Amino acid sequence: MAETDGQRELSHRQLAKCPTGITGLDEITGGGLPRGRPTLVCGGAGCGKTLLSMEFVVRGAVNYGEPGVFMSFEETAEELAKNVASLGFDLADLEKQKLLAMDFVYIERREIQETGEYDLEGLFVRLGHAIDSVGAKRVVLDTVEALFAGFPNEMILRAELRRLFRWLKDKGVTAIITGERGEGTLTRHGIEEYVSDAVIVLDHRVVGQSATRRMRFVKYRGSLHGSDEYPFLIDETGFSVLPVTSLGLDYAVSMERITSGIPRLDHMLGGQGYFRASSVLLSGTAGSGKSSLAAYFADAACRRGERCLYLAFEESQDQIIRNMRSIGLDLAPWVDKGLLKLHATRPTLYGLEMHLAMIHKLTNDFQPRTVIMDPISNLSIVASNEEVKSILIRLVDFFKNRKITSFYTNLTHPDQLEETSTGVSSLMDVWLLVVNVESNGERNRVFHILKSRGMAHSNQLREFLITDSGIDLVDAYIGPGGVLTGSARLQQEAQEKAAALAAQEELEHRRHVLDRKRQIMGAQVAALQAEISAEEEELQALQDQSKLQHKVAAEEREQLAAARNADSPEVKEGE
């Protein structure tokens, strides 16, 4: 993980740091152990003290070109070399390259008799010689408390240890001193009082039959450090500490949107799907199709050519692939292509912290852009809800920092739909809910978006259908009796269809009637017009007749006047 600029700046102002090269440890310490000072690492038997310090020296030599000295009080060089060979550390080769000097300090109490005053100059000489022989910058003393068994004079011993730590500081080497955990004290002989700079406690606890390794900084003078316990792993690549707790809320957000794999759901989410690097929680009752929705999301990621990590806590890889095939989704090609990694584990396999560690490591190794956890509710089998919540906070932050979109499914009890058993909903950017609604003798799935930060989203309930050909979200019918789903919805739809058909027919009928009326009216108008024109014609005929009669009458008068030889009006007029 890249150190952020802020951290780098901070570590400049603080003490100089010596990078350990151990995954995660440098992040929580803001750069490593205090340079040129001794650090005490304590813990019970088998908690990983020796491995931590050995890795510190080896990584220093290999990664940072800083030679180291490993002074062991418990195991011979051969034993140590054998123990760490499985981690790929070749101690003999490093010794040959003058990058490592080993010295096994053997103390046999039975052989030793005290005969007066002494000091531990022999130890100083040997250590000094080892340091000079390789030009060491790093020193490990594992575990210096073994001296207490060999030298009964505690007063001398304590004075010498004080001098030793002083001397190490003067030498300017960065040192790790290990110590067995004591009762009520950090170390059995209280050597923590001589180490004032940094104290790390390692712990190997068994809770609920699951073992978890944890690391805690009791003291880290002059440096910011989280006071939390950090889980760590020891595996074939060595030590890895999980820095997730130290992450804050200062991640950059993305405006990029990615599809949920279901077009209708994208539509409900402002048309574009989720924001990249957001956290999506899908709650639902048993059998509500949570895994299917998760699988669709995984499929969508793979279609984009992005890697997706699917952490299954309930089903095996083959089972998931088989089940998804039944709804028309074939995940196997993505697995073959290496785009999809199905990692199936039972939550009870190990403790919660180990799960976190495992997820962290898988994420680092696989580098996915999408992570699916199905389901998170199962984690509460191995830990209390509070612990699960704390882990999830860390996970959510961790994924967000990595710009990984995370998708969590959560099994909810039907009585407590809108709460998550672990109270994690407030961490989530998007919260989807699928509920089984029982009515009319059938169970149907109803889907809605409870929240979706930073985007306009649909407030509508949708029916969630899982068919042979996949998932679909269809409009649910909302009637007086509530939301209708399944056959009730189909029935309602049929009714609506019939009603619409009837209305259509009615309309046709009305139009027909109107047309008829219009035709009749037209005919009537035509008839009236014909009547009018007939009357007009009659009137004309009458007029013509009347004119004719006038004419005839005039002619007859003229003829009569002529006959009476009356004055011609024209003549009279001409006089």
- Min dist. Cβ of residue 77 to other proteins (A): 11
Is 463 considered catalytic here? Answer: no
The whole-angstrom separation of Cα 56 and Cα 76 is 18
Nearer to other proteins, 116 or 569 (CB): 116
- CA-to-CA distance for 264 and 256, rounded, in angstroms? 19
Sign of the CA dihedral 111, 117, 120, 122?
A: negative
Pick 146 or 342: Cβ nearer other proteins: 146
**Residue 423: both structure tokens together:** 């109270």
Between 144 and 265, name the residue whose CB sits nearer to other proteins. Answer: 144
Q: Which is nearer to other proteins, 79 or 114 (CB)?
A: 114
Q: Which residues of 144-168 are buried (b: 16+ CB within 10 A; e: fewer)?
A: bbbbbeebeeeeebbebbeebbebb
Nearer to other proteins, 47 or 157 (CB): 157
CB 115, min distance to other proteins, A: 4
* Closer residue to other proteins in complex, CB, 104/251: 104
| Residue ranges that bind other proteins, judged by CB under 8 A | 103, 105-107, 111-123, 125-126, 128-129, 147, 150-151
Sequence-distant (≥ 6) Cβ neighbours of residue 381 within 8 angstroms: 347, 348
Tokens linked to 543: 């007029």
In DSSP terms, which residues pair with 229 in a beta bridge?
Answer: 216
Q: What pairing do the DSSP bridges indicate for beta strands 229-235 and 238-241?
A: antiparallel
Residue environment code for 367-393, b if the CB has 16+ CB neighbours within 10 A, otherwise e? ebbbbbbbbbbbbbebbeeebbbbbbb
Closest CB 398 distance from other proteins, rounded Å: 46
Cβ closest to other proteins, residue 121 vs residue 535: 121
Of the pair 9, 119, the CB lying nearest other proteins is at 119
Q: How far is the CB of 356 from other proteins (least distance, A)?
A: 43
Nearest distance in Å: CB 142, other proteins: 15
CB 312 within 8 A of CB 342: yes
CA 338, CA 22: separation in Å to the nearest integer? 28
The verdict on whether 74 is a catalytic residue reads yes
Length in residues, the chain: 575
Integer angstrom CA distances of residue 376 from 206, 291, 383: 22, 12, 12
- As measured in angstroms, the least distance from the Cβ of 157 to other proteins is 10
Provide the sign of the torsion angle of the four alpha carbons 49, 53, 58, 60, taken in this order: positive
Q: How far apart are CA 491 and CA 373, in angstroms?
A: 38
What SS3 class is residue 182?
coil
Shortest spacing between CB 120 and other proteins, in angstroms: 6
CB of 104 to other proteins, least distance (A): 9
Structure tokens at 34: 């205090």
Residue 394 tokens read as 């860390």
Q: Is the peptide bond before 143 cis (omega within 30 degrees of 0)?
A: yes
What are the C-alpha distances in Å from 202 to residues 22, 217, 241, 373?
15, 9, 11, 29
Name residues whose C-beta falls within 8 Å of residue 291's C-beta, 6 or more positions apart in sequence.
314, 315, 320, 323, 374, 409
d(CA 367, CA 223): 31
**Active site residue: 3, 74, 315, 387, which one?**
74
Catalytic residue among 3, 75, 314, 315: 314
- Do 359 and 372 contact (CB within 8 A), yes or no? no
Residues near 442 by beta carbon (within 8 Å), at least 6 away in sequence: 486, 487
**CA-CA distance, 137 to 60, in Å (whole number)?**
9
DSSP 290-303: HHHHHHHHHHHHHH
DSSP string, 46-66: TSSHHHHHHHHHHHHHHHS--
Instruction: State which residue, 116 or 574, has the beta carbon closest to other proteins.
Output: 116
Name the minimum Å distance from CB 113 to other proteins. 5
Minimum CB–partner distance for residue 119 and other proteins (Å): 6
Whichever of 149 and 554 has its CB closer to other proteins, that residue is: 149
Shortest Cβ 148–other proteins spacing (Å): 12
Pairing status of strand 229-235 against strand 274-275: unpaired
CA atoms within 13 A on the CB side of 116: 0
* Chain centroid, CA 17 distance in Å: 33
Q: Choose between 117 and 170: whose C-beta lies nearer to other proteins.
A: 117
- Which amino acids are annotated catalytic? 74, 314
